[in-house]
Structure 1
Amino acid sequence: MPCTLTAQHSRFPLAKPFRISRGVKTAADVIAVEIAEDGVFGRGEGVPYPRYGESVESALNAIEEVRPAIEAGADRSALMSLMPAGAARNAIDCALWDLEARKVGRNVADLIGAPAPRKMASALTIVIDAPERMAEAAAEVRKAPLLKIKVDANDPATQIRSVRAAAPEARLIVDPNESWDQALVEGMQDALVEAGVALLEQPVPVGADEWLENFKPAVPICADESVHTAEDLDVVARRYQVVNVKLDKSGGLTAGLELAQAARERGLGLMTGCMVSSSLSIAPALHVARMSDFVDLDGPIWLLEDLPGGVRDDGGVLIPPDLGFWGT
């Protein structure tokens, strides 16, 4: 049956700046898609990311190009060949999942054949700042089960030690966002072990990680920017021990589930991540998070105001959105 697709840019101011090695974010710019069919609506959200050559304008243009096909009834399977992986495809794919669930009166978990999302530990992010400020931020959430430390190449050992001292019990992920080089990764191994770091995420730039094929890390290394879809795994599996599935990279829940399953089949560890976004981006990602060793879905926690009924944080434990928010 023909449907109607609408897409728009939405901006969510942040409660405080989100600072990583490649810049500072003060608002989340997202693309919200709604697909309506016979009075039933499905919603999805994508976050265009400049690191991948995306912008709000380019994402909206990409959606416009496939609008005729979607409105003519193209399904999720067809969408995979109509669009490349990225934020635009993610928004449409997740809207199609939501629409299908509402049309048949079942939730997305039933459609997947998996348990419904439950509350789970999800990383709270400590952004880059002076070590004493990072320690203060960590002290405020020291009882959280998992913290993610954003660092750069400017004395990351001190930053990490400061957070560890303030939060001695939390599991730690360290994320340099591609800002390190081979020498720094090798030189940081003892400091990572000393601080009890559980995971090092994408330390070096994409295209400068070939040497990892012969490197034996003391702490598992997770591919983020280096992995987008299952097609990347032939190379990634030789260099990394864990992969970070983000729906904005994979281009939707359909491809995200495919990537997660393929990674598991190769014996790789699994992480679920997100961009800074509203809960409309996070609700679909929960279906990958249930499979994951590490969950990092605190994007909406940074917003000044999230969408009503979205996910909630309880001391580092993520509570799923209200019934009916997405996919239910």
Structure 2
Amino acid sequence: MGLTFSFQFYDLPLQHPFQISRYTVTVQKTAIVCISDGIHFGYGEATVNPYYHSTQERLKESFIKIQALVEAASGLHPEELWKNIEPILKNDYFALCAFDIAYWDFYARKNNKPLRSYWSDEEAITPLTSYTIGIDSIEKMQQKILEKPWPIYKIKLGTSNDIEIVESLRKITDSVFRIDVNCAWNAEQTIKNSNILRDLNVEFIEQPLKADDSEGMKKVKSESYLPIIADESCQRETDVSICCELFHGINIKLMKCGGITPALRMIKAAREEGLLLMAGCMTESTIGISGLTQIASLLDYLDADGALLLSQDIASGVTFDFGNIVYSNSFGTGAKLYT
């Protein structure tokens, strides 16, 4: 029986306006891909994101380009199909990611296996996920923490009063903080701030400098009082070898690298280089998060809170209990669209 490949766009309203150093989002637009043989279904997701030039129009064009090839691919291993699809979508890795997760999900369900079982023990220990606090007034950031008790918070910074924000948030919780600057600091600021933040129970700093500031990052890596994790500087597989000279670790995002297939190779390469390993999400639904968490046991850190930031989800699947992943009992990723 042949496959069908379909896609649909959704608007995901957020609980709170989500602000980082570059922009603010109140409704996240996303695309859901479905691959099916009429009995088994697999789902993947790609969000619209201005920084990475991901638009609805571009995603639609990409999906139409690969539809016939995917529908003729029944029986192919996901790694083989990814190799066939990547040259067609080499300029749209968000679409490549949505396809790849959907096909892995379909493949695992058809073989009656949880997806994560292909590379790890189903009962393997997984890191806790952080919960993100977007930029806002100090009072509102404090309120978000009080509303959502959590063991680890990722604090978005990139304002004129960043240290004051962290000091104020520290007064109301003993939870671990991770700082994400989204390229808003320079080298001197980062080194100075890392010394202060170390005493405020901050675990690491994510992407403090612009992605093209290699000289600044060399200085920061050698002088920072905290580990520095690459995000915007680590997009594709080829970035891993570059990042080991500039960062202590990398944040792998499936949409940036093109899905689970290349992420597994990036994890292997990063481990060989002795890098700390994190995987993160966009603000996506439980479809995307259920795919992301399949690689969690291979990581040191996890940021998989995208669906927790929504006021209304479109799917069921993986859930979280005070940071702990609770996997679905279903095969594949366990994700299922609400009808």
Instruction: Choose which of 143, 146, 151 in structure 1 pairs with 2:152.
Output: 146
Give % identity. 29
Tell me: CA distance 1:86–1:201, structure 2 relative to 1, closer, same or farther (3 Å): same
Give yes or no for contact 1:260–1:288 (8 Å, CA) kept in 2: no
Residue 165 and residue 80 in structure 1: after superposition, are their counterparts in 2 closer, same or farther (change >3 A)?
Answer: same
Structure 2 counterpart SS, 1:44: strand
Aligned AA (1:253) = I
Residues 105-145 of structure 1: CA deviation (Å, up to 9, x unaligned): 22212333543577752111111112233233223445x22
d(CA) in 1 for partners of 2:211 and 2:286?
29
Amino acid of the structure 1 residue aligned with 2:286? S
5 Å-filtered alignment, 1:28-47, equals 28-47=28-47
Partner of 1:125: 132
Distance 1:134 1:43 in 2: 34
> For residue 188 of structure 2, what is the aligned residue in structure 1?
183
Over 3 Å counting, the alpha-carbon distance change for 1:270 and 1:145 in structure 2 is same
What is the aligned partner in structure 1 of residue 201 from structure 2?
A: 196
Q: Check whether the contact 1:136–1:166 (CA below 8 A) recurs between aligned residues.
A: no
Task: Indicate if the aligned counterparts of 1:153 and 1:176 stay in contact, CA closer than 8 A.
Answer: no
CA distance in 2, matches of 1:192, 1:298: 23
User: How far off its partner does 1:273 sit?
Assistant: 0.5
Change (3 A) 1:253 1:155: same
Query: Matches of 1:192 and 1:91 in 2, distance apart?
Result: 37
Contact 2:237 2:266 in 1 (8 A): yes
Q: Do the aligned partners of 1:309 and 1:322 also contact (CA within 8 Å) in 2?
A: no
Q: C-alpha separation between the residues in 1 aligned to 2:328 and 2:44? A: 14
- Deviation by residue 1:260-305 (Cα, 9 ceiling, x = unmatched): 2211111000111000010110111112221222111110011112
Contact 1:79 1:93 in 2 (8 A): no
SS at match of 1:54: coil
Report which stretch shifted further, 278-287 or 33-42.
33-42
Paired position in structure 1 for 2:258: 251
Q: Return the alpha-carbon distance in structure 2 between the equivalents of residues 189 and 326 of structure 1.
A: 37
1:48 — aligned with what?
48
Q: For 2:231 and 2:7, how far apart are their aligned partners in 1?
A: 27
Question: What SS does the corresponding residue of 1:244 show, helix, strand or coil?
Answer: strand
The match for 1:162 among 158, 162, 168 is: 168
For 2:303, which of 296, 308, 320 is the aligned residue? 296
Kindly state the Cα deviation for residue 80 of structure 1 after the two structures are TM-superposed. 3.2
Moved segments of 4+, more than 6 Å: none
In the TM superposition, what whole-angstrom CA distance separates every residue of 1:201-240 from its partner, at most 9, and x where no partner exists? 0111111243222332110000001101221112111000
Which residue of the partner structure matches residue 23 of structure 2? 23
Normalising by structure 1, report the TM-score. Answer: 0.92
Q: Secondary structure at the match of 1:134?
A: helix
Structure 1 vs Structure 2 CA RMSD: 2.1
User: SS in structure 1 opposite 2:184?
Assistant: coil
Determine if the alignment matches structure 1 residue 208 to structure 2 residue 239.
no
Q: 2:62 & 2:123 partners in 1: Cα distance?
A: 32
The whole-number CA distance in structure 2 between the counterparts of 1:135 and 1:189 is: 22
Alignment of 1:99 with 2:99, yes or no, is no
How far 1:25 moved relative to its partner?
1.0
Q: Following TM superposition, by how much is the alpha carbon of 1:99 offset from its aligned partner in structure 2, in angstroms?
A: 1.2
Q: Distance in 1 between matches of 2:60 and 2:124?
A: 30
- Classify 1:10/1:116 alpha carbon distance in 2 versus 1 (closer, same or farther; 3 Å): farther
Change in Cα spacing, 1:117 to 1:99, as seen in structure 2 (3 Å) is farther
Deviation at 1:320, TM superposition (A): 2.5
> Contact 1:79/1:89 (CA < 8 Å) preserved in 2?
yes
- Aligned length, in residue pairs: 326
SS class of match (2:171): helix
CA contact (8 A) 1:48 1:88 kept: no
Query: Which residues of structure 2 form unaligned runs of 5+?
Result: none
Amino acid at match of 2:155: I
Deviations 1:8-44 (A, max 9, x none): 2111111221111111111221111111225322211
